[in-house]
Amino acid sequence: MASIFATTAEVERKAGAKCSATSKAAAYVDDYMTQVESFINVVTRYNWSDAYNGLNADVKGILKEVASNLAAIYVIQYDMSGFTSRVEAEDMINVLRDAALRGLALLRDKKTQDFVVGA
């Protein structure tokens, strides 16, 4: 199943060159993205997947950022052995997590939701 919010290539770029070839394969990323998209919908209490086609580019960009960040975390954590050190992989995960949390906070805010859905 193809993802709605982000592409495999976008997730791969965020996971970095040192991530496992297995975990960045399209089949794995599609699985991660399905989970991530459902997570975003539930956490924000809005079904962005169903509304996606009617959203403007700015909202789609936020969804893309959050989804690709969260999926890239799954790609990295699958196998950290390719990184220079575990700390390097964990630092990448922390940066991705922080950006995902910022985006989720925006999407979760009811006033922001009203603004972006009406845009």
Q: Where are the domains of the chain?
A: 8-118
Of the candidates 110, 70, 109, 61, the residue with the CA atom closest to the CA atom of residue 92: 70
| Binned average pLDDT, 10 residues per bin, the chain of 119 residues | 87 94 93 96 95 90 97 96 95 98 90 70
pTM more than 0.85: yes
Rounded Cα distance between 79 and 106, Å, is 31
| pLDDT value, residue 119 | 62
| pLDDT value, residue 72 | 97
